[in-house]
Structure 1
Amino acid sequence: MTRYAATYARDRAEIEDLMARYLMAMDYNDFDSYADMFTEGGTLEFARGAVTGRENIRAAAQGFKEAVAGIYKDVDGNPAILRHVLCQSVIRVEGDKAWHTGFWFECANDGPREASGRFTPTLGTFGIYEDELVRVDGEWKFAYRDIRNEFLDGRDSGKVNPVLAMDAKAETALSGGS
């Protein structure tokens, strides 16, 4: 049975706010805010590999967005507008540490043009986030974020329920393991 501390609702709200700010920062090319959501020594693991430290995360996020702009084009050949959405999230909080897993997908305006002249949105890539968070000076930050992509070889989420995998990582960390 899952047990929640008296502060769980507040912690969850703060973590969900961090997640929303993270996606807004990425989608609107605010790489400074994006990087600031990680601890100084935080790690981001994604399709291009893993990077550690805010400056490296900032540079990697910016490089990734520039590369994506060359791949996703609207019907006029302009970079498509991508927007990410976080769906169901499971968050486990233990004091000043937390673990999260959640399903994400992205939408883009790279579909065919409608009679009205607007683009038809498309549903693009999807996957899950696997996160470890810590509270730093009263604020939740990502210590580790792994962006799993269900459409890329070696980056899928596997066959185990991601919630069970998250709980196993939490139990290992809480018992002093790595």
Structure 2
Amino acid sequence: MPRITDQELIARAEIQDLLTRYGQAQDQDEWSLYDDIFTPDAAIHFPGMPMESRSAADFGRFLQEFNKTRISGQHLIGNTLYRFENDGRSAHVVSEVIYITLHPTDTPGRLRRIRGNALYSDQAVLTADGWRIARRDIAQKNVEIDEADYDAVLLSAIESASVTRWFGSSGDEA
């Protein structure tokens, strides 16, 4: 394996920040974070899934609407591999994803849980504004949906944590 250069380490950190922003935008409803992740013409594809390809902007709007149906969510993105191309100005980036979302049901104290695993295959490019994702393929690997009862105190804590602006667009913490 060739040695990693200082430039490549910096690029990896900047690309990892994009991946983190993507998860945090969704999980914390901080959609201003989503604005700097993708190129203006970025496309998102869903191979093997009954979902048509769409622009990153359109997918962001879809996610914002979906988030209105949930109480909480979490995306963990890791096991990321990088392959730099084009003299370090582009990169193929593959990450494993674990996610869970909690949705209300008609029964008080009972939530629907959606848990899954996916793979993000990204084509990242270095732009004048920094690294951006130009293409993302989302490959679903597993999905489990069930319902579970939650104690009222725990449910209240989850709901409270979900509306707290932990990071905030201004950079202020909760």
TM range (shorter): 0.5 to 0.7
What letter matches 1:40 in structure 2? P
What letter matches 2:132 in structure 1? K
Alignment-derived partner of residue 50 in structure 1: 53
Distance 1:124 1:12, change over 3 A: same
Alignment-derived partner of residue 58 in structure 2: 59
Q: Is the 8 A contact 1:105 1:123 kept in 2?
A: no
Tell me how far apart the structure 2 counterparts of residues 81 and 36 of structure 1 sit (CA, whole Å). Answer: 23
Alignment-derived partner of residue 99 in structure 2: 106
Verify: 1:127 aligned to 2:130, yes or no.
no
Tell me how far apart the structure 1 counterparts of residues 28 and 71 of structure 2 sit (CA, whole Å). Answer: 13
Alignment-derived partner of residue 140 in structure 1: 131
Distance 1:3 1:30, change over 3 A: same
Which of 70, 76, 80 aligns to 1:89? It is 80
Alignment-derived partner of residue 19 in structure 1: 19
SS at match of 2:53: strand
Distance 1:129 1:18, change over 3 A: same
Residues 36-77 of structure 1 show CA distances to partners (whole Å, capped at 9, x for unaligned) of 31112111224532123xxxx23322224424654xxxxxxx
| TM-score computed with the length of structure 1 as normaliser | 0.63
SS at match of 1:142: strand
Alignment-derived partner of residue 34 in structure 2: 34
SS at match of 1:61: helix
How far residue 4 of structure 1 moved from its aligned partner, in angstroms, is 3.0
Choose between structure 1 and 2 for higher RCO, CA contacts under 8 A separated by at least 6 residues: 2
Alignment-derived partner of residue 76 in structure 1: none
Provide the aligned C-alpha RMSD in A: 3.1
How far residue 130 of structure 1 moved from its aligned partner, in angstroms, is 0.3
Unmatched segments (≥5 aa) in structure 2: 144-174
SS at match of 1:31: coil
What letter matches 1:50 in structure 2? S
How far residue 19 of structure 1 moved from its aligned partner, in angstroms, is 0.9
| TM-score computed with the length of structure 2 as normaliser | 0.64
SS at match of 1:150: strand
